[in-house]
Amino acid sequence: MERKDRIDSLMQSLDERIVLLDGAMGTMIQGYGLAEEDYRGERFRDSSRDLKGNNDLLTLTRPLVIREIHTAFLEAGADVIETNTFNSNAPSMADYGMENLVAELNLAAARLARACADGHAKRTGSPRYVAGVLGPTNRTASISPDVNDPGYRNIRFAGLVETYEEAATALIQGGVDFLMVETIFDTLNAKAAIFAIKRSFARSGVTLPVMISGTITDASGRTLSGQTVEAFWNSVRHADPFMIGLNCALGAADLRPYVAELARVADTRVCAHPNAGLPNEFGEYDETPEQMAGIIEEFASSKLINMTGGCCGTRPDHIRALREVVEGVSPRAVPEVPVRCRLSGLEPLNIGPDDLFVNVGERCNVTGSAVFRRLIEANDYGAAVQVARTQVEDGAQIIDVNMDEGMLDSEKAIVTLLDLIATEPDVARVPIMIDSSKWSVIEAGLQCVQGKAVVNSISLKEGEEQFIEQAQLVRAYGAAVIVDDGQAVEVTHPVVVVGIASLAVQHHCFQRGLHAQGCKACDILVGADRPTGCLKRDVGVAQNFRPDLTVAVRHDEEGIQTAFRQRFRQGKAPA
């Protein structure tokens, strides 16, 4: 069966039933009791570093072990097996001095899993699918590893993109059916993976479905980097995933409320593959297959999930038990979620038609605030963060950050401030508006923000080609965008940024502006002659405007162009 046919078959199965993912590769490997020499094999016999624990390396040195594990999960009833590539990225492989093996590991693991899935399908007559796994890496782009230096980062967005693109390209070449960005504890890492995946698709000419799976670390209901479930979803929905999920850290019972929240807000399919309970004092998992299956059975009957499986501690018996309880149960119906402006910091900011205005704190602006400019020039970023904190305390729902000053290194300044803001939950809970007339500064800022930000702004003043390029990049970074030039209506190229636009103009800042509405890919905020609602650009100073219409932009390129024309020429939204 060709890959396109397998993907079609998978999507049909998801419409008809709850699809089953496999269990824990690491748990199964531990059961083999492998020694250092097993990991080394002949090829890496003389390595100067200890290699035991580098489970992904076993794809090269002990492929029969990995094949046996894949086969065991398939025979237990898994529809989807995951490639043995959780750590096949440069940061994780650096611990073993094996960064140069990223492409080889991903390619070999994909081919091995593909062979196992195809062999099982040939024997049984039932297609089986391969998920190409992109793990979280062992570093965080939005959290400092040094408690004494909150602005320090040991990995940057660009470095993550580079290794994720290399891995994704190899997985695609190896024959996977979809890509899975999983165990996300820092959403900025995930956004880098999404950016890399889209770039890999463009360069390889092959586009595959994408699945995103986050990790709620404890009873706080947040990721390690601090986001709530809905904020996480708002941050990654621009990937247009065919599946969004939660996995790891918690057992099924503890994960249940967060799966329910994800099922409520996500207008795509939902997956849950929890651990087999919580680890005991020896780091082992005690939840039996029957116990786990009993909890997942309630997930299924409550219509929370479209796919399920297991993470840490789950073995083929767990998957077999899950198969029994979900058999014959119809999957969750993907809901029609109301169209809203869906931004996020650590918490979501959803703006709908009943919201009269949004408070945008604009004191973190070197061109608009002499006090703030002096703080930045004096390198007093601690006080600069306090300016942002005060605005949030006074009611700002979005913080505008502008570092456009001739004597400043604007890129360095915006990165420094945004890195520090990310470590302050009281400030980072609201979305960021990245405000600059320089695209390089905007892009530097976007690479620091884990939430869904607003770009202020892009324009046709430099020409249509640059406008389109920047719009596409805004989409790739997962931000909303203000277009500050009314000429946007004259664009003939079918703009690939998609979204919903609730028109709101601030005429003292730009001639024609648009306040964002959330969407699956990215928001486009297009100028209008008649403003709508009320937008507070600075806390405490309201600007009142006349009402205008809301425009729905279709999720296809021609639809977007049509929506622009209808918006400005006919004054109504497309059907």
Q: What is the DSSP string of 482-523?
A: EE--GGGGG--S------EEE----TTT-SS--EEE--SS--
Least Cα distance to 195 among 177, 210, 173 occurs for 210
What is the SS3 assignment for 188? helix
Count of beta carbons in the 10 Å neighbourhood of residue 538: 18
pLDDT over 50 at 199, yes or no: yes
Question: What band does 482 get if pLDDT is binned at 50, 70 and 90?
Answer: confident
- Beta bridge partners, 360, equal 398
CA dist 429 and 415 (Å) reads 18
Query: How many whole angstroms separate alpha carbon 230 and alpha carbon 265?
Result: 7
Residues 427-451 pLDDT 10s: 999 999 999 999 999 999 999 999 9
Say yes or no to pLDDT of 531 above 70.
no
Question: Which residues, other chains included, contact 280 with Cβ-Cβ below 8 Å and sequence gap of 6+?
Answer: 286
Segments of 257-318 assigned E as strands = 269-275, 307-308
CB-CB neighbours of 237 under 10 Å: 25
Q: What is the pLDDT of residues 145-190, one digit of tens each?
A: 999 999 999 999 999 999 999 999 999 999 999 999 999 999 999 9
Q: Above 60 in pLDDT, residue 11?
A: yes
**Number of DSSP helices (H) and strands (E) in the chain, helices first:** 20, 20
Average pLDDT, the chain: 85
Binning pLDDT at 50, 70 and 90, where does residue 457 land? confident
471, pLDDT greater than 50: yes
Q: Looking at the chain, which residues constitute the CATH 3.20.20.330 domain(s)? A: 3-326
pLDDT band at 282 (very low <50, low <70, confident <90, very high): confident
Phi and psi at residue 464, to the nearest 5°: -65, -40
Tokens of 429: 């809970």
Distance CA 385, CA 397 (A): 16
pTM of the model: 0.88
CATH topology for 3-326? TIM Barrel (3.20.20)
Q: What Rg do the C-alpha atoms of the chain give, in angstroms? A: 24
Angle at CA 354, nearest 5°, toward 350 and 356?
Answer: 90
- pLDDT reported for residue 353: 75
Q: Is 555's pLDDT higher than 50?
A: no
Report how far apart, in Å, the C-alpha atoms of 274 and of each of 137, 216, 292 are.
19, 10, 9
- 12 burial type by CB count under 10 A (0-12 exposed, 13-18 middle, 19+ buried): exposed
Kind and range of the H or E run holding 574: none
What's the confidence (pLDDT) of residue 527?
A: 36
CATH, range 341-570: 3.20.20
**Separation CA 226–CA 110 (nearest Å):** 32
**3-class DSSP string for 131-156:** EEEECCCCCCCCCCCCCCCCCCCCCC
Taken in order 411, 413, 416, 417, the sign of the CA dihedral is negative
pLDDT at 523: 53
239 has a pLDDT exceeding 90? yes
- Report residue 540's pLDDT band, with 50, 70 and 90 as the boundaries: very low
| DSSP tag of 44 | T
The answer to whether residue 494 scores a pLDDT higher than 50 is no
Structure tokens at 328: 């014959």
**What's the pLDDT tens digit per position in 27-71?**
999 999 999 999 999 999 999 999 999 999 999 999 999 999 999
The whole-number pLDDT of residue 215 equals 98
Tokens, residue 557: 């390129």
Mean pLDDT value of segment 411-416: 98
Q: How far apart are CA 489 and CA 556, in angstroms?
A: 17
Q: What angle do CA 450, 452, 458 make, to 5 degrees?
A: 115
**What is the pLDDT confidence band of residue 340, given thresholds at 50, 70 and 90?**
confident
* 3-class secondary-structure state, position 447: coil
